[in-house]
Amino acid sequence: MAEFTMELNDEQKEVRDWLHGFAADVIRPAAAEWDEREETPWPVIQEAAKVGIYSLDFYAQQYFDPTGLGIPMAMEELFWGDAGIALSIVGTGLAAVGVLANGTEEQIGTWIPQMYGDANDVKVAAFCSSEPDAGSDVASMRTKAVYDEAKDEWVLNGTKTWATNGGIANVHVVVAVVDPELGSKGHASFIVPPNTPGLSQGQKFKKHGIRASHTAEVVLEDVRIPGSCLLGGKEKLDERLARARERAKQGGERVKNAAMATFEASRPAVGAMAVGTARAAYEVALDYAKTRSQFGRPIIDNQGVAFQLADMRTSIDAARLLVWRASWMAINGKQFTAAEGSMSKLFASETAKKVTAQAVQILGGNGYTREYPVERMHRDAAIYTIFEGTSEIQRLVIARTLSGMPIR
Ligand SMILES: Cc1cc2nc3c(=O)[nH]c(=O)nc-3n(C[C@H](O)[C@H](O)[C@H](O)COP(=O)(O)OP(=O)(O)OC[C@H]3O[C@@H](n4cnc5c(N)ncnc54)[C@H](O)[C@@H]3O)c2cc1C
């Protein structure tokens, strides 16, 4: 187990500086354009692929860093550049982690390369869990997967919503119900291979922020996929379902709101994205406060402004520490006895919302215009308290974990 540390080692610092350079030189200058276009920034993803940032190798290297700091450090730097573009770059990683966590070695080897493509022909992947009537309440999912034994095929039907890269992905990872009696224990994940008939993009959403990231509905109509596309395989699924049925018979509660328990380990990564956006806005505000003069002195000369900046920086550093602690715990197999993953996501995302709003205020009229990046950062920051579990759901998870009570 790696010692917990608050300092990056030399190798990590080198990676951080390299990522920061990419974020500053490639991502940040493109941010306003792709925000206005509301389109996937394919040329930027391609640049990231060329230098090795958009690849499974890079993601896996950071993911398996024994200090746990690889992913949060990478997320913070990329999202410091721009949240929408960075999500377009790391969105595939979320689907890839779904396969890494549940897939067999063969599935990992077959599908993950197809999620990324290569630098000359980049592809993206989507992770489709949320539905119109199943957001926070994942157990209400309706998309069904039915096994056709004669053909060894699964047939998927349903509508997914809010899928990052949904419909434009080469590979979709779809969560579906295989046994409705078991709540979220009766769910399984499937690969929908490229160009599978029956999968189509529904509505593409016009969003408040992270507009360079594509978000859309994914409609599944009699989508037939080979048996080999069930992540983890049929045998493992049957064993898991049998265990869940046994527990249910013995009076085990029907598991509801599985979203609350799952993703605990991946939540610090979202916290790190929020830290990146917050830091970006704080830096712009600090610079501005030192150079903008009113009443014959820089505005930072007023405690009312300087104290805001002091609070902003304090919250950002506190958020990063919570994120790093949870990331270190996750990679070292430490149990989240106080929902530390949720804590880090809750605090960092609320910090990003608050700090970006303060940055807009410090820039005055300029902060309210698209001439300055804090306006975009403020819009972008709102997503962090919503996806991967809303702030209310994080509080629910923390309160339940602390109390051991079924708080509603
Ligand atoms: C830009 C974007 C990208 C996304 N990307 C993906 C993706 O790639 N894949 C994917 O599967 N999903 C994705 N999502 C979906 C996201 O995870 C959901 O939006 C989120 O889980 C919330 O679900 P909901 O929108 O249905 O809100 P709801 O669950 O309807 O919640 C509405 C409000 O009620 C509150 N609430 C609900 N239940 C409770 C409760 N028990 N106690 C207190 N308050 C409660 C919530 O906190 C929230 O404030 C994305 C969403 C967005 C906006």
pLDDT digits (tens, 9 = 90+) for 46-63: 999 999 999 989 998 998
Instruction: Give pLDDT tens digits for 208-250.
Output: 999 999 999 999 999 999 999 999 999 999 999 999 999 988 8
pLDDT score recorded for residue 194: 98
What pLDDT is recorded for position 263? 67
Q: How confident is the model at residue 101 (pLDDT cuts 50, 70, 90)?
A: confident
Average pLDDT over every residue of 175-187 = 95
- With pLDDT > 90 as the criterion, what percentage of the chain qualifies? 90
List 14, 371, 388, 392, catalytic entry: 388
- CA 391–ligand 1 middle distance (angstroms): 10
Q: What is the mean pLDDT of the chain?
A: 95
Distance 389 CA to ligand 1 centre (A): 6
Token pair recorded at residue 384: 């962090």
Q: Using an 8 Å Cβ cutoff, are 317 and 347 in contact?
A: no
- 60-80 per-position pLDDT tens digit: 899 889 999 999 999 999 999
pLDDT tens digits for range 120-154: 999 999 999 999 999 999 999 999 999 999 999 99
| Position 259 pLDDT exceeds 90 | no
What local confidence, expressed as pLDDT, does residue 142 receive? 97
Question: Residue 277: which of 146, 84, 140 has the closest Cα?
Answer: 84
Whole-Å CA distances, 53 to 15, 96, 165, 229, 404: 10, 15, 18, 27, 41
> Ligand 1 center to residue 287 CA distance, Å?
35
For the residues 318-330, what does the mean pLDDT come to? 96
The pLDDT assigned to 257 comes to 41
| Residues in a beta bridge with 131 | 134
Q: How far apart are CA 308 and CA 301, in angstroms?
A: 12
Q: How far apart are CA 164 and CA 3, in angstroms?
A: 35
Q: What is the pLDDT of residue 252?
A: 59
Res. 256: pLDDT tops 50? no
pLDDT at 332 over 60: yes
Q: How far is CA 378 from CA 227, 313, 381, 389, in A?
A: 45, 16, 5, 20
pLDDT at 266: 82
Determine the average pLDDT of the residues in 85-104: 94
Residue 153: predicted pLDDT: 98
Mutate to test the pocket of ligand 1, among 387, 388, 394, 398 (most ligand atoms within 8 A of CB): 387
Q: How far is CA 67 from CA 63, 213, 276, 302, 333, in A?
A: 10, 30, 19, 41, 12
Q: What are the pLDDT digits (tens) for 360-404?
A: 999 999 999 999 999 999 999 999 999 999 999 999 999 999 999
Q: What is the mean predicted confidence (pLDDT) over 203-210?
A: 98
Band of the pLDDT at 261, cuts 50, 70, 90? very low
Ligand 1 atom showing the smallest separation from residue 126 Cα: 8
pLDDT at 253 over 90: no
221 flagged as catalytic: no
Pocket test for ligand 1, best of 40, 350, 390 (most atoms within 8 A of CB): 390
Residue 1 — pLDDT band, cuts 50, 70, 90? confident
